[in-house]
Structure formats: C-alpha cells, structure tokens
Amino acid sequence: MSAMTDTAAWTPAQPKPADALRAEAAIEPDPVHTGEATKDTQIIAIYGKGGIGKSFTLANLSYMMAQQGKKTLLIGCDPKSDTTSLLFGGRSTPTIIETSSKKKLAGEEVTIGDVCFKRDGVFAMELGGPEVGRGCGGRGIIHGFETLEKLGFHDWDFDYVLLDFLGDVVCGGFGLPIARDMCQKVIVVGSNDLQSLYVANNVCSAVEYFRKLGGNVGVAGMVINKDDGTGEAHAFAEKVGIPVLAAIPADEDIRRKSANYEIIGKPDGQWGPLFGELGTNVAEAPPMHPTPLTHDELLGLFKSEETGADFMLQPATFEDMCGVDYVEKPSLEVIYDEV
C-alpha cells in the first residue's frame, strides 16, 4: 500500500492545503506589548544574508558579552535553527514552535525550561520554523514571539537580547522587529560581495521606510565577516552612513574552528580582543538613520567587470520569440477612412 500524502487525503469538506496556508499567513499578529517596561533592556536585531556568518558572529558575540558581565539572551529567529547549535558545540536545542506543538497535543503548557538553555552565562533559545511545505515561515516567527510573550518575555531581567534574523526574506514575520518597534536598533552583517551588501541595503531601506511611518528603530552599524581587505563593505558602510563595528578577517583558523562548532570569542583566546571590542561597540552604538543606496550606486562599489554593470541591455524582438522562420502576416483589422 502506498503512503497517502496530505494532498491525497484532502476531501471537499476540508479547506484546500493552499487555502489553509494563505489563511495562516494572513492572520494578523497580536498587538505589540504597550505596557510599562519593567527593565531597561536593549533588544538588538541582527540581519544578514543566509550563509554570510551572522549566526557564527552572534554565537561568539553573545558569549563574549556574557563574559563582559552583561546578562545576555540569544534568540535564533532563522528557520535553519543554527544559531544555538554554534553556541552549544553543535548540539541542537528543541525549538519553541516544535515544543509548543508537542505540548499542545499533550494538553500541557510550555515552560521556560522546555525551550531556554544556557552556557557560561549565555541564555539561548530557538524559535524554529514549520516543516517544508506545511506552513509560513514568517507566520512561524510571529507565533514564536506570541509564545514568548505568554512566557513573560516583557518581564525578563536581561541587559541585552540579541535576535538572529534571516535578511533575505522580506515577508512580515521576518520584518517584525523593525515594523513593530520590537527592538531599539538593528545591526547588519555583510561581506565584500554584492549579494550580502544587497541584503544589508534592503534592511537599511526597511528601517527608513518604517521610520517614515512613525517607527523608532535605527541601524547601529555593520559587522564585516570574512573580510578579505578588498574594501567594498567598508565603502558601503561609509556611503549609507553607518559605522563598522568590527571586521572579522577571512582567516583559516576562524573558518576551521567555526566549522567544528568551536566558540572563539573567549576573553583569553586569540580572537578575544576582536570580539571584546565588538561586544563593547554593539552595546554602545546608537541607532542611526541610514541612507540606502540605489541599485546602480550599490553596483558602483564594485568593478564593472565583476558585476556586469557595463553590460548594455539588448531588447528582444517578436521575431526572436517566434523563431527564425517567422513570416509577418497581413492584419485582418478593418481600418475605416476618416470622414
């Protein structure tokens, strides 16, 4: 007997899977908490292109900030759930979405100990995401934060809360901290490549867009990862008007240790001073108003032969679309002479 898929199991009495996903994505999140804050906590959202190293940066940054005496909470908001894996030596943690679903089926409530874990003073948790094809990732982020609020998020006693967000995705859930003033400032992680700076520029554009709508979030600066010294990321930061908080070099020792889930942001380690300075800069950098670049300005940071910026667009013709043997046929349209 062949296994029955979700689609095959659908009956006319049930909503179609596609309709159910659209309905889920269209649900508005609960209103943002507006009560009086019980502690002056800095909430910082870190955005970057997938694979650029933001989870590596955040795992080491959060560890260093804890060693500096700052009570720090790291929340992974990327469906890949790789932030805490780096912090916990490759060990994955139960995600909030996964745990919430299991507890709901069992008729139980989620507790802090189910989803939050700690290492050497750093507290960390993962929001997670739905299974492939079974839900909206952005809606999953929203659901995760709603669960955090039920767990008392606004009463927790932390100096810093770091949110690890995927920057490639622009749907509502991933833009939640910027759109709804859930954080005070944003930090972008990029490198000397066009795609990561394109994402960083998009994040700056989002911050400015919501500022015009009355938002208060600003960009505190940029972390350059895998810096090979070519200078494009530094030029980008200067042009949009944000500081470079740290430049992490493209170093084989860093690459190897990161691949082995090893924390390098330790005060007594080789890279301790680098991450120590980053921890201080992240804490002290004020939120700023960036000036996003146009696409042509972004391309202008790179040599034209590297980006294809000097390529001239050649319009296609109808003959191209129909093939080389295309024969123009007389029109059957009737045209009347003007009286």
pLDDT-derived band at 171 (thresholds 50, 70, 90) equals low
Q: Which residue has the tokens 């940054």?
A: 61
pLDDT-derived band at 40 (thresholds 50, 70, 90) equals confident
Q: Domains in the chain, ordered, with CATH?
A: 37-304 (3.40.50.300)
Stretch (H or E) spanning 26: helix 17-26
Q: Residue 3: helix, strand or coil by DSSP?
A: coil
Q: Is the pLDDT of residue 135 over 90?
A: no
Residue 103 known to be catalytic: no
Beta bridge partners of 48: 166, 189
Within 13 Å and on the Cβ side, how many CA atoms surround 178? 31
DSSP H helical ranges for 92-173: 96-106, 112-115, 137-150
Q: What is the pLDDT of residues 212-239, one digit of tens each?
A: 988 899 999 999 999 999 999 999 999 9
pLDDT-derived band at 7 (thresholds 50, 70, 90) equals very low
Stretch (H or E) spanning 277: helix 272-284
Provide the token pair at 50.
Answer: 């997938």
* High-pLDDT (> 90) share of the chain, %: 46
Q: Which of 71, 80, 103, 266 is catalytic?
A: 80
Q: Which of 168, 181, 193, 251 is catalytic?
A: 168
Provide the token pair at 319.
Answer: 């003959």
- Distance between alpha carbon 339 and the CA centroid of its chain, in Å? 65
Residue 118 known to be catalytic: no
pTM: 0.78
Helix 96-106 vs helix 137-150: crossing angle, to nearest 10? 70
Q: What is the pLDDT of residues 146-162, one digit of tens each?
A: 888 888 888 899 999 99
pLDDT-derived band at 191 (thresholds 50, 70, 90) equals very high
Residue 54 known to be catalytic: yes
Residue 49 known to be catalytic: yes
Q: What is the pLDDT of residue 32?
A: 45
Mean per-residue pLDDT for 15-34? Answer: 57
Q: Which residue has the tokens 């994040």?
A: 203
